[in-house]
Structure 1
Amino acid sequence: MTVYEAELVVDRRESAADGVLALTLRHPLGEDLPAWEPGAHVDVVLGPELERQYSLCGDPADRSVWRIAVLREPAGRGGSTHVHEQLRQGAKVRVRGPRNHFRLESAPRYRFVAGGIGITPILPMLAAAEAAGAEWTLLYGGRTRNSIAFTEELGRYGERVTVSPQDENGLLDLGSVLDDLPEGTLVYCCGPGPLLDAVEERCPAERLRVERFSPRAREAGENGEFEVELAQSGRTVRVAPDVSVLDAVRAAGVEVLFSCTEGTCGTCETDVLDGTPDHRDSVLSAEEQQSGETMMICVSRCRGKKLVLDL
């Protein structure tokens, strides 16, 4: 499948909260951008070896622009600092996508939970749920009131939105929205790892949909050696215990798309034609992992001696 990639122009920069910068991106020739649905993200190529994923948080009906929001993290790996300091008005940046591993499924009612910059994929979900006539609420937390982004936009939803700064109220009262869920309710959550862990502890897995910005904590599994047959090229490569499938495939001269190398962005998702993957990603749902139809080759491995991949 061909992935859209283009150099877009920073059309507008605006502060969404303390430390949060919202960027509106457009095509330099005014062309429409690809359609997307709530939950989608794009890859932003900031420089050599510097690529980040940001959720689209604008209006899916407006094909003229894409909007992203970036939290400045001084102790991060440099991506957010680059965005805040280098992507000035009129600057150009290469963007690829969109992709969506956090789709809003149809339901009569929703409970949305967001922490910090995790509000970005949730924003368009609220508008979609509203347009569909679904019953919904949002519980949204952040460190301080001034650090909580897009509160003005959220204000139009009234009492369905509960904004709870941690320095005023402590940790989010998850029980108030997750206990005794009505039949047919889906829970969507995005934010820091500890928040997602807490939500997963008290919400039935079949009701919950999450998106993680950092890998899920996992016990280290054994890394055995195995083979990967590349169905399209007819080649077979050996994957050593200390080498990822991604690195082994690239070392064999096969070009594949990848980005985070942590199993969180979904860029390297690859179809599995035969064999059983040892899933170690933080993207696929339990059901998707159980099906074994695809895998994230940057972190996942093989339960056995051989995989056949559609590469």
Structure 2
Amino acid sequence: MDAVTRPVRIAAKVVEARDICSFELVAPDGDALPPFSAGAHIDVHLPAGLVRQYSLCNNPTETHRYQIAVLRDTNSRGGSVAMHALEVGQTINISAPKNHFPLVYDAHHSVLLAGGIGITPLLCMAERLASLGTSFELHYCTRSADRMAFSERILSSQFAGRVRVHYDDGPRPQKLDLAALLDSARSGVHLYVCGPTGFMNWALETARAAGWPEERLHREYFAGAPIDTSGDGSFDVQIASTGRLIRVDADKTVIAALCAHGIGVPTSCEQGVCGACLTRVLEGTPEHRDMFLTAEEQARGDQFTPCCSRSKSSKLVLDL
């Protein structure tokens, strides 16, 4: 077992909605688990070497358990299928909680916008904001009522009056009018978006068009965007500490090229979503293909995700 992981036991597995199961994870010895903040996720280590990231969706004040929820994806690369095959009583290894999607606690108001399984981190945020007495609203968009995870928990919560549920197959009046919701970038209001890539891009582009500043737009992607690799070419990466030059062929990732030469970089999602492999760039111009860095961070060109991103220049010098 990796030194940065810990074993947890599956104490409960519950069908929360169509194709969605929640898992309650506890320490095998009953001890408290490391604390986490709203928006955090854990890496779950699955059979066959798979590692997947799942948002924590229970209240951050709880120390005895972690709760995650997993959508069984018909286009799964194996992770969601492996998760749904797990049973109560089994032990798996997980990382400590990480948070790339934190709340801004001094916001005047927070708009939480969930699409499908994207409810998981936003539910945790809603419970935290409600416990603090902070102003917020939660919009939960799903295809249909039978796909609404945690419906009873949400609709019976202390913040139920701040929740609006929008069904794709429901009547027009209850559907989300995103342009109206985001038509005014009021000072001190922050937007948090999580869900399928298309849903998130729609929300973020609508907000930007309405004048929302980038620093008040927060998002967490579950999967990388499809990329056309047909025009990819070769380039070199140089290891700054040794000067070693490594060729990255057109059909290989930087991670794969480094690994083939015995140079390890931490990885997890391998889609440019989680940021685990983020590496400093000392020279050269990265071709960013990740969903992790903001547009401003990408424009600086001083870091990139070698699991999916490439190079516009003939060589990148990496801080390795």
1:167 to 162, 166, 169: 169
Unaligned runs of 5+ in 1: none
Three-state SS of the structure 2 residue aligned to 1:9 is: strand
Equivalent in the alignment of 2:262: 253
What SS does structure 1 have at the residue aligned with 2:6?
Answer: strand
Deviation at 1:219, TM superposition (A): 6.1
1:127 paired residue number: 127
Aligned position for 1:276: 285
Percent identity reads 39
- 1:178/1:304 CA distance change after superposition, 3 Å: same
Q: CA deviation at 1:154?
A: 1.9
Over 3 Å counting, the alpha-carbon distance change for 1:95 and 1:150 in structure 2 is same
> What's the Cα RMSD here?
2.4
Residue 113 (structure 1) shift: 0.7
- Give the partner amino acid of 2:115: G
Tell me: CA distance 1:306–1:131, structure 2 relative to 1, closer, same or farther (3 Å).
farther
Alignment of 1:116-155 (within 5 A): 116-155=116-155
Contact 1:4 1:98 in 2 (8 A): no
Query: For the residues of structure 2 that align with 1:180 and 1:68, how far apart are their CA atoms?
Result: 34
Q: Which residue identity lines up with residue 272 of structure 1 in the other structure?
A: V
CA deviations over 1:269-307 (Å, ceiling 9, x no partner)? 223344332211011111222233432111112232332
- Counterpart CA distance in 1 for 2:229 and 2:253 is 14
- Write 1 or 2 for the structure with the bigger share of strand: 1
Match of 1:6 in 2: 6
Alignment of 1:163-202 (within 5 A): 163-169=165-171, 172-202=176-206
User: After the TM superposition, which parts of structure 1 deviate over 6 Å for at least 4 consecutive aligned residues?
Assistant: none
* Aligned-partner Cα distance in 1 for 2:87–2:54: 17
Structure 2 Cα separation of the partners of residues 147 and 191 of structure 1 = 13
Residue of structure 1 in register with 2:54 after alignment: 54
In structure 2, relative to structure 1, the CA distance for the partners of 1:150 and 1:98 (3 Å cut) is same
**Partner Cα separation in structure 1 for residue 248 and residue 264 of structure 2:** 16
The answer to whether the 8 A contact 1:45-1:94 is kept is yes
Q: Which whole-Å CA distance do the structure 2 matches of 1:28 and 1:247 have between them?
A: 35
Distance 1:50 1:285 in 2: 27
**Deviation at residue 222 of structure 1 after TM alignment:** 5.0
The answer to whether the Cα contact below 8 Å between 1:230 and 1:236 also exists between their aligned partners in 2 is: yes
Number of matched residues? 309
* Partner SS state of residue 89, structure 1: coil
Distance 2:44 2:287 in 1: 29
- Equivalent-residue separation in structure 2 for 1:216 and 1:98 (angstroms): 25
Which runs of no fewer than 5 residues in structure 2 stay unpaired? none
Contact kept, 8 Å, 1:111 with 1:177, in 2: the verdict is no
Q: CA deviation at 1:3?
A: 7.3
Q: 1:112–1:221: structure 2 CA closer, same or farther, 3 Å change rule?
A: farther
Amino acid of the structure 2 residue aligned with 1:99? K
Partner Cα distance (1:276, 1:37) in 2: 35
